[in-house]
Amino acid sequence: MEARARRGTSGTPGGGPDAAVAATRGAGAAAHVLTVTGPLPASSLGTVDAHDHLFLRTPALAGQDFEDLDRAIEEVRDAQATGLRSIVEMTPIGCGRRPDLLRELSIATGTPVIAATGYHRDAHYPAGHWVYEASVDLLAERIVADIERGMHPADWIDPAARPDPARAGVIKAGASYQHVTRAERRRLEAAAIGSLRTGAAVLVHTEVGTCGHEIVDLLLANGLAADRIVLAHLDRNPDPELHAEIASRGVTLEYDTPGRIKYRPDSDLLRLVEHLVGAGYGDRLVIGLDLGRRDYFRAWGGGPGLRYLLGTFVPRLRMHVGERAVDRILVDNPARVFAIAGLGVPV
Ligand SMILES: [Zn+2]
């Protein structure tokens, strides 16, 4: 309830976003992120695509699965040539996550990859899937195991299987359009527990940008700090006032429709970023492409391709908000939000 009271104070967020950044940095000069090849100094991430997919298979997008290492490597190399350095791969448990291939890709291309544990919204799991029956404790336990021991190699179908050496470094959760189902609520609770135990951020899929406040309320009520929460796809509902209001709660917003013209022209998205930066929330935003269909990749003969973020969108963004704001959005903010406290410290 305290969190709700903070709403609507977009001009004067508690402590201010800059204060939060300073506090994080002050807490430890060497913050680390957890990539599929192990912990890395967060400062070495460079430019980050904060939400994308390299391997994916889900019943919600039949015929659009992609699970081809060579094509993924080709796509990543093409993006590297534009200046992209690191990728946050948000394919969660049950959606064709491939820790082994992510590791191979990361080593082959030299690209740091932060992989996801956690769960998507209901639409991505067929009736009878174990995620509906599992207790909150079991859901949380599997999140923690993916982060601490290494990701399960096959979506926890056979719980006894040996974990892959690649550990997850971020937790996914998801909600439906205009409502959070009972099962999604339980998975959000599990994500909060997983984050409290490991320190990893929780990135939540919002459907068409809805339920933002509700999701934040639920996670805060479960003990999560606002700076561990990232809300994805808010740009699908491009409402600048709502976005500033949510950012004022200390949450990070993630936009991911650059180049996906079926949603809206990039000019609209550029104005949206400009508004958020102008309202003082330039350090509450990260951007990815969220290419979740085979047709979105150049290596599969489609587009816009992974190269679009740095190659096409960011040069335009720079003209709208300037170099410093772009560095915050692409480099500083992801380094802060995906860092895990205590990582990299010898025990
Ligand atoms: Zn996604």
- pLDDT reported for residue 344: 65
Between the CA of 73 and the centroid of ligand 1 the distance, in Å, is 19
In sequence order, the β-bridge partners of residue 116 are 170
Pinpoint the alpha helices (H) of the chain: 2-5, 17-27, 69-80, 99-109, 130-133, 136-148, 182-198, 212-221, 240-247, 266-278, 308, 314-327, 333-337
282 has a pLDDT exceeding 80: yes
Instruction: Categorize the per-residue pLDDT at 345 as very low, low, confident or very high, splitting at 50, 70 and 90.
Output: low
346 is a domain residue = no
| 3-state SS class at 3 | helix
Q: Which of 317, 336, 331, 346 is nearest to 48 (CA)?
A: 331
- pLDDT reported for residue 3: 40
Between the CA of 26 and the centroid of ligand 1 the distance, in Å, is 32
C-beta of residue 112 within 8 angstroms of C-beta of residue 86: yes
- pLDDT reported for residue 96: 92
Between the CA of 265 and the centroid of ligand 1 the distance, in Å, is 20
Mean pLDDT over 225-251 rounds to 98
Q: Domain of 39: which CATH number?
A: 3.20.20.140
Q: Look up residue 42 and give its two tokens.
A: 């967060």
- pLDDT reported for residue 62: 85
Least confident window among 10-14, 85-89, 119-123: 10-14
Instruction: Categorize the per-residue pLDDT at 19 as very low, low, confident or very high, splitting at 50, 70 and 90.
Output: very low
345 is a domain residue = no
C-beta of residue 173 within 8 angstroms of C-beta of residue 191: yes
Between the CA of 233 and the centroid of ligand 1 the distance, in Å, is 9
Between the CA of 28 and the centroid of ligand 1 the distance, in Å, is 31
DSSP 237: S
DSSP 163: P
The residue assigned the tokens 């990749």 is 297
Instruction: Categorize the per-residue pLDDT at 342 as very low, low, confident or very high, splitting at 50, 70 and 90.
Output: confident
Q: Output the furthest CA–CA distance in the chain (Å, rounded).
A: 52
343 is a domain residue = no
- pLDDT reported for residue 236: 96
C-beta of residue 51 within 8 angstroms of C-beta of residue 236: no
- CA 103 to CA 164: how far, in whole Å? 9
Residues that place a CB less than 5 A from ion ligand 1: 90, 290, 292
- CA 24 to CA 334: how far, in whole Å? 13
Write out the residue range of the structural domain in which residue 48 sits. Answer: 2-337
Average pLDDT, the chain: 92
Between the CA of 177 and the centroid of ligand 1 the distance, in Å, is 15
Between the CA of 236 and the centroid of ligand 1 the distance, in Å, is 13
Instruction: Categorize the per-residue pLDDT at 346 as very low, low, confident or very high, splitting at 50, 70 and 90.
Output: low
- CA 141 to CA 197: how far, in whole Å? 10
273 is a domain residue = yes
342 is a domain residue = no
179 is a domain residue = yes
Between the CA of 232 and the centroid of ligand 1 the distance, in Å, is 8
Question: In total, how many domains does the chain have?
Answer: 1
Q: Look up residue 31 and give its two tokens.
A: 């913050």
Between the CA of 88 and the centroid of ligand 1 the distance, in Å, is 10
4 has a pLDDT exceeding 80: no
Mean pLDDT over 252-266 rounds to 96
Between the CA of 48 and the centroid of ligand 1 the distance, in Å, is 15
12 has a pLDDT exceeding 90: no
- pLDDT reported for residue 61: 86
- pLDDT reported for residue 15: 40
- CA 190 to CA 185: how far, in whole Å? 9
247 is a domain residue = yes
- CA 227 to CA 15: how far, in whole Å? 13
Mean pLDDT over 204-218 rounds to 97
